Amino acid sequence: MLIAGNWKMYKGPAETAEFCLGLREQELDGVEVVVCPPFVSLAVAVQLLAGTEIAVAAQNVHWEEEGPYTGEVSARMLRELGAYGAIVGHSERRQYFGDTDETVSKRVHTALEAGLFVIACIGETAEERERGKTEDVLRRQLSVLEPDDNLVLAYEPVWAIGTGKTATPEMAQEAHAFVKSRLDAPVLYGGSVKPDNAAELLAQPDVDGALVGGASLGLESFTAICRAAIPS
């Protein structure tokens, strides 16, 4: 089981240091844990989690090695910093910053080539689900990806991100099974995962972990979700 905390645009270096020092003290054997701070907080997270089994990943990565791409960060830079991997194609990147299936594919390919671990996000909007287009959307998003030992997928129904709505365990299982029928890779569930629903979601046979948003910002709630993923 893999539990990744996507901090989005929260936690500068000072808050990150406090969180990571607390996270180091937790007993989380039996679950893979990744934290994904903002770019400015990656270095302190890498430094404070060095020597632990907890990995640090970025929230995005560009497809070029260097160049005139203001505001972007390359895979080589992340590797030099000590980052383990990157999230790619999160719905907020698609919604607000123009990421497309094509750019997601380029980012994923380049990051994997550079030796980074990648969490590639896929998922449908509320409108697409209501129109019965969920599988069409997932099929299209998956068509630009290829299996890789360092690739993990995150199914995040867009209507469940930051809304408090969560796919039922049955809905998550159905989507994950479909995704795995199209691409051989572990699949995390992302979309309002909280301590009180984590165990039921993670118990589904095709759910291989969680990409946690808001609940990853608090040490207590994040570690509770991590513990829910530890095999009993």
CA distance 27 to 208: 20
pLDDT, mean of residues 108-134: 95
| C-alpha distances out from residue 33 to 29, 73, 101, 152, 157, Å | 10, 23, 27, 13, 22
CATH of the domain at 115: 3.20.20.70
Q: Which residues contact 18 (CB under 8 A, 6 or more apart)?
A: none
Q: Give the whole-angstrom CA distance, residue 75 versus residue 168.
A: 35
Q: How many helices (H) and strands (E) does the chain have?
A: 10, 8
Neighbours of 115 (CB within 10 A): 13
Cα–Cα distance measured from residue 57 to residue 71, given in angstroms and rounded to the nearest whole number = 17
Euclidean distance between CA atoms 98 and 193, whole angstroms? 25
Task: Give, to the nearest 10 degrees, the angle between helix 219-228 and helix 13-24.
Answer: 40
pLDDT digits (tens, 9 = 90+) for 129-180: 889 999 999 999 999 999 999 999 999 998 877 777 778 899 999 999 999 9
| Residue among 62, 124, 156, 176 flagged as catalytic | 156
pLDDT recorded at residue 225: 98
Q: What is the pLDDT of residues 41-64, one digit of tens each?
A: 999 999 999 999 999 999 999 999
CA pair distance 199, 136, nearest whole angstrom: 29
Catalytic, out of 62, 90, 124, 176: 90
Q: Is 90 a catalytic residue?
A: yes
156 is catalytic: yes
Q: Is the pLDDT of residue 182 over 90?
A: yes
Q: What is the pTM of this model?
A: 0.95
- Residue 48's contacts (CB-CB under 8 Å, 6 or more residues apart) are 16, 17, 20, 21, 24
How many structural domains does the chain have?
1
> What pLDDT, on the 0 to 100 scale, is given for residue 38?
98
Give dist(CA 159, CA 182) in Å, integer. 22
Q: Domain range for residue 38?
A: 2-228
Express each pLDDT in 203-230 by its tens digit: 999 999 999 999 999 999 999 999 999 9
CA atoms within 13 A on the CB side of 31: 24
Please give the sequence-ordered ranges of beta strands (E in DSSP) within the chain, or none if there are none.
Answer: 2-6, 32-36, 55-58, 85-88, 117-122, 151-155, 187-189, 209-212
